[in-house]
Structure 1
Amino acid sequence: MDPIRHLTASTFLFTRFGTSWRMCVIEHPRQGGHLAPRGHVREAQGERPQNAAVRAALEESGYLPRLLPAPLPEGYPHPGVPGPWWTVDIPVAPDGRVDALHVHTDHVFVGVVPLPYEPQGPSELPVRWVDPADLEVLDAPSESKVLGAHLFDVIGAAARQSAPAGPDGELEAELLRRMELDQEVRLTLPASRTPKSLKRWQQVDRDNRVWLEQLLSERGWPGISEVGERAAAAVWLIAQHSDAAPDFQVSCRDLLAEAVLAGEADPRHGALLQDRVRVAQDRPQVFGTQLRTDEEGELAPAPIWDPEQVDRRRLEVGLEPLAEYLEACRRTVGA
C-alpha cells in the first residue's frame, strides 16, 4: 500500500552580507531545530510548487525570494527557468495533518535575497542567517546540512542572472567623465558657491541622472567586469546623487543590490545607497553612512536602526567603524 503523500516546497534562501554568503533558516516550533522555509502545496487551490515555495518563504521568513534556475551544463544554448533543483521524498512522523507515518514529496528550490536588511513582511518564525561554519554545528536535519553545504559551493555562480559582460572601454570612459563632472561641482568651496554654480550643480546631476536612466533601461546595471572598478563606482555615484528622483533612486538601489549579489559591485556602495534611500524615506538607516548637522552644529549620523550593532554591519560590507568615519568627515568639513 502506497504511503500517504503530500506535496511540499522548500526554499534554500541565500544572501550576501558584504562578500560573505549566508543561508536563511527558521526555527521550527513543532519539529524543533532549524530548517529551510517550507510549506505544503495547496493542491486543492491549484497552487504550483514554485508559488508555494515563494509563499512559504515570505510567510515564515519575511523575505520574498528570487528563485534561481538549476545550473545547466556549460555550453547549453538556452536560458534556464526557475524551478525545483531537486524533488525528494521525506518520511514524516504523525503530525497535525496526518495521524500516521506519511511522506512529503518535497520540491527543493534555491533563491536569493538581494537586500537582507529589507524584509518584505513580518516573519512567522524566528529567522537566522548562517554561514558554512554555523551550518556544520546547527541543530538541523542532516539532509538540510548536506544540501546547504553543497549550495554554499555553487551559489555564487548560480546567483548571476547572466554571464558577465565583456569590457566596454567607451562606456567606461563616459562614466569616468561624468564622475569627474559630479565631483567638480561638489568640490567647490562653500564660500565660492554662487547662484550660477549651484544651478550648474543641479544641471550636472539632472543630466547624469537622465543619461543613467536611459543606460539602465537599455542594458542594465554596468558591472565591474564590464567597466572596471572606478567606472562601476561612477554608476553608484550618479545613483547616489539622484535625490531629485526618489523612485529612480529606489530602482537603482535594487539593481545595485543584484550586482553586489553577482560580485559585480562593491558592497560598500550598496550600503551607502541603501542608507541614502532609507533616510529619504524617513526610515532609520542601516550602516550609519548618512550624516546631518546636530543641534550643536556637529556632523552626526541620521537615526540608525539597531545602533548597537552598526559597527558589525559596517565591518560586513568593508566600512570602517562609525567613530572613525565620523572623525574623518568632521576633519574634512573643518579643513
Structure 2
Amino acid sequence: MTPATRPPVRLDLLLTLTRLHREGIAVRMTRTFVPSRQELLAIVRWEKRSARELEQIFEAHGWPGPDLVGEVGAEAAWWIALLCDRQTAFQQGAHRHLLEAVERGDAPARHGAYFTDRLRMHEGVPQPYGTQYLLNASGAITRYPVADPGLLGLRCHRAGLPKVAEARPADLRLMALTRLPRAPTGLPSLR
C-alpha cells in the first residue's frame, strides 16, 4: 500500500504505544549507568505493564505495523517488546508476531534481527547479527558473543543492518538488560 492509500492510523493504539515508549525511556534513564535495585524494580514494573498492554494489541490486531499505528507506533511497539526482558513467554510470542510481520513486509528485517539476537542472548546462544551488548556491573560494555563471525557482514547486510552495529553508551543505557543472560554454552562465563 502506498501512504496515500493506507487506512487511517488507529490513534488509540498509537497513543498507547507512544505512552509506553515514553514511560520506558523515563524509567530507564537511571541516575547511574548501572541501575540501582530500586531503579531495576521500576523497570521490571514497566515491563510487566507494557507486556500486558502489548499482548492485548497482539491478540486483537497481530503485530502493530505502520498500516495500523504509523511508522512511529510500529517503531515504539518493537522497542517496547524488545525490552520486556523478564517477560520471557511474552517476548517469544512477540517475536513470532514480528517475524510474521517481517515476512509480510509489515515490519523491517532489522527489527527481527535485533529481536532474534536478544532472545538468543537470553537463551545463552551466540547471536547471529551482533546487535546485543552486555552492560557489566562495573559499567563496562562488551558485545555478546556472535555466532560464526565470518558471516556477520552478510547476515547484517541481508537484515538491513550496518556491517558491524557498534553500540554507543547512550543507546546501551536504554537497551541494557534487566536480567543477566545465560552464559553461552561452550564459552567462558560472562558473569
- Scaled to the shorter chain, the TM-score interval is 0.7 to 0.9
Letter in 1 for 2:160: G
SS of 2:168 mapped into structure 1:
helix
Would the alpha carbon gap of residues 288 and 244 (structure 1) be closer, same or farther in structure 2, given more than 3 Å must change?
A: same
Judge conservation of contact 2:135–2:141 (CA < 8 Å) in 1: yes
Q: 1:302 maps to which residue?
A: 144
Q: Secondary structure at the match of 1:197?
A: helix
Q: Partners of 1:212 and 1:167 in 2: how far apart?
A: 17
Q: Which residue does 2:31 correspond to in 1?
A: 189
Q: Quote how far apart the aligned CAs of 1:271 are.
A: 0.6
Do structure 1's residue 171 and structure 2's residue 13 form an aligned pair? Answer: yes
* 1:329 has 2:171 as partner: no
The whole-number CA distance in structure 2 between the counterparts of 1:310 and 1:209 is 31
The secondary structure found in structure 1 opposite 2:131 is coil
Is 1:264–2:111 an aligned residue pair?
no
State which structure, 1 or 2, has the greater radius of gyration over its C-alpha atoms: 1
More helix by share: 2
Instruction: Say which SS state the counterpart of residue 190 (structure 1) adopts.
Output: coil
Match of 1:258, SS?
helix
2-structure distance, mates of 1:331, 1:177: 21
Change (3 A) 1:218 1:330: closer
Match of 1:283?
Answer: 125
- Structure 2 distance, partners of 1:228, 1:311, is 30
Residue identity matched to 1:220: G
Partner amino acid, structure 1, of 2:40: L
Which digits, 9 at most, give the CA deviation of each residue in 1:262-317, with x for residues without a partner?
111122111110111111111111101111258x9742221211111112211222
| CA deviations over 1:94-126 (Å, ceiling 9, x no partner) | xxxxxxxxxxxxxxxxxxxxxxxxxxxxxxxxx
Report the 3-state secondary structure (helix = DSSP H, G, I; strand = E; otherwise coil) of the residue aligned with 1:300. strand
Work out which of the residue numbers 132, 154, 158 in structure 2 matches 1:316.
Answer: 158
Is 1:241 aligned with 2:87? no
After superposition, the C-alpha distances for 1:101-159 in whole angstroms (9 at most, x for unaligned) are xxxxxxxxxxxxxxxxxxxxxxxxxxxxxxxxxxxxxxxxxxxxxxxxxxxxxxxxxxx
Question: Which one has a larger percent strand, Structure 1 or Structure 2?
Answer: 1
Unaligned segments of structure 1, at least 5 residues: 1-163
Return the alpha-carbon distance in structure 2 between the equivalents of residues 217 and 276 of structure 1. Answer: 23
Go from structure 1 to structure 2 and tell me whether the alpha carbon gap of 1:243 and 1:198 turns closer, same or farther (over 3 Å shift).
Answer: closer
1:213 aligns with 2:55: yes
Aligned to 2:42: 200
| Aligned equivalents of 1:211, 1:202: Cα separation in 2 | 14
C-alpha root-mean-square deviation of aligned residues, in Å?
2.6
2:128 touches 2:147 (CA, 8 Å); kept in 1?
yes
Q: Could you say which residue in structure 2 is the equivalent of 1:223?
A: 65
**Conserved 8 A contact 2:65-2:74:** yes
Q: Tell me the TM-score normalized by structure 1.
A: 0.45
Taking structure 2 as the reference length, what is the TM-score of the superposition?
Answer: 0.76
Q: Is the 8 A contact 2:133 2:142 kept in 1?
A: yes
1:197-229 deviation per Cα after TM superposition (whole angstroms, max 9, x unaligned): 333222111110111112212221111111111
